[in-house]
A and B are shown apart, each in its own frame.
Chain A
Amino acid sequence: MAKHETPLLDQLESGPWPSFVSDMKQQAEVRAKNEDNIDFQIPVDVVEDLLGVLELSFKHGRTHWKHGGIVGVFGYGGGVIGRYCDQPEEFPGVAHFHTMRINQPGGKFYTAEYLRKLCDLWDFRGSGITNMHGSTGDIIFLGTTTPQLEEIFYEMTHNLEQDLGGSGSNLRTPSDCIGAARCEFACYDTQDLCYHLTQEYQDELHRPAFPYKFKFKFDGCPNCCVASIARADMSFIGTWKDDIRVDQEAVAAYIGGEIAPNGGAHSGRDWGPFDIQKEIIDLCPTDCMWMEDNKLMIDNKECNRCMHCINAMPRALRIGKETGLSILVGAKAPILDGAQMGSMLVPFVKAEDPYDEIKEVIENIWDWWMEEGKNRERLGELMKRQGFQKLLQATGLEPDPRMVQEPRSNPYIFWNEDEVEGGWTRDINEFRKHHQR
């Protein structure tokens, strides 16, 4: 018998999609039965109280968590999101309900053994409820009490070789697409770069030293499977410099209907036979493809590497061999001054261990933003406030047409004094000699 009546939540157990309510009820039951005789370190009925408080929020249309919460582990300034229920008498099981962020592995590949160990720890010292994964990438342990934080941290670091993720005004947990692990479009080893930079900047991740949060994300190609261009202050997107590799026999096979376009992604509906002219050539954004003697031709110097043709004919077209990545900066959600996506900063850089060139860009940006950024000002906002030119000065990069979508249309153009003959120091009397009042 459940501890609280949940008529509203119960409705969410119907329908075909996996129900979080059913899952939580199952977990509540597992804890109540406790067949493995676990010495639970937080209230046994934590899940039932969580369902209870959620039902109350459904009824009221309001949250029942108190404002904020500052908890953590010694040595770190982030990693744990403190949370307290505002009805602790009615729902004592969730009076403390802190979230722990656990740094996930690249591409989120796991072994059952590793996950089992994490679950054993979390069943023992937490609610047993998780979020796989938070939007930034972390494994999320949902709900434990303050005294358990150091205990969990000790177990994780000593027995699981596992660290916390980031929270607060610091480098948040970097994440990546699965990259070369199992994608033929990957232009660099996203997992290696993500891992390398996560390790390199542990200090920046664990001890908030920035004006505000800062995120890295790593996409192997412009398809952006980890959405770095929208969700990371610094977005690393794979690309290539040379020609798209064309297998003309495979092109013919696509045209002949032997291979389904887009890996069969549209097989749920009859779109007619594959028409290379209509589906590829006419859709190319730069119009740089054509058929000649039954061969697909690409004017690569006009190609902007949008991925459309490669996505449509993955067995016929491949990324080039001279690969690297672009760095885009400044993406953020709307608060405070409007949403931004990443702006092109470095059109092309090789991505090779030890990634010194990439680190130089990162550290130059940090130096500038840490010095100039206002309290709670994202990089994208500092770029808006001080201008893209200041970012170029800070990173030592030369302005390049690829950094703008279009040139400015207003004429409010600033010049540096040393660029203008004679400088800014002028004598009005000198002017008056030639121009009467």
Chain B
Amino acid sequence: MPSVEFMGKTFTVDEDGFIDSYDNWCQEWVQWVKKEEGIDELNDEHQKVIDVLRDYYEKNGIAPMVRVLSKVTGFKLKHIYELFPSGPGKGACKMAGLPKPTGCV
């Protein structure tokens, strides 16, 4: 697996740039993904999405459905795309350190 070095940290990632382990997530990772995913400025709303995703994942062991993410954050899907141009899966889940989405994508 390739690795990236950023702000003094080293991360192991897969081809799609998802982190190898949820436990290796840190604020530097967020900064790295921000650069990769076309996000100019991180704000409280980005952080809220990340917090909700991590909280849900820790409690349930899976990522929430899009509808649940919208409900809990109060952000419509359109707004989530404004925050994360690649969308909740490739953008937000990657930034939150969650495992890569699977299935018939």
Contacts and interface: CB of A to CB of B under 8 A. Distances in A.
Interface of A: 66-72, 74-78, 81-82, 84, 96, 146, 167-169, 203, 207-211, 213, 370-371, 375-376
Contacts of A69: 15-16
A77 B86 contact: yes
Given A209-B67, A370-B67, A70 B81 contact: no
The A contact surface, by secondary structure, is loop
Interface size class of B (residues with CB under 8 A): 20 to 34
Report which residue of A70, A71, A203 has the largest number of chain B beta carbons within 10 angstroms of its beta carbon.
Answer: A70
B65 interface: yes
A375 B103 CA distance: 12
Contacts of B18: 70
A332 B3 CA distance: 41
Identify whether the interface residues of B are mostly helix, strand, loop, or mixed.
loop
Q: Name the 4 nearest CB pairs between A and B, nearest first.
A: A77-B87, A74-B85, A70-B16, A168-B105
Contacts of B78: 203, 207
B104 interface: yes
B27 interface: no
Contacts of B65: 211, 375
Contacts of A207: 77-78, 81, 87
B67 A208 contact: no
28 contacts: A66-B15, A67-B102, A68-B102, A69-B15, A70-B89, A70-B90, A70-B94, A70-B101, A71-B16, A71-B90, A74-B85, A75-B85, A77-B81, A77-B87, A77-B89, A77-B90, A81-B105, A84-B15, A167-B104, A168-B104, A169-B66, A203-B78, A207-B77, A207-B78, A208-B66, A209-B66, A209-B67, A375-B65
A76 B87 contact: yes
B16 to A, nearest CB: 5
B104 A72 contact: no
B88 interface: yes
A82 B102 CA distance: 11
Given A67-B102, A207-B81, A213-B104, A72 B86 contact: yes
B15 to A, nearest CB: 5
Contacts of B81: 75, 77, 207
A9 to B, nearest CB: 26
Contacts of A210: 66
Contacts of A72: 86-87, 90
B38 interface: yes
B3 to A, nearest CB: 16
A210 B77 CA distance: 11
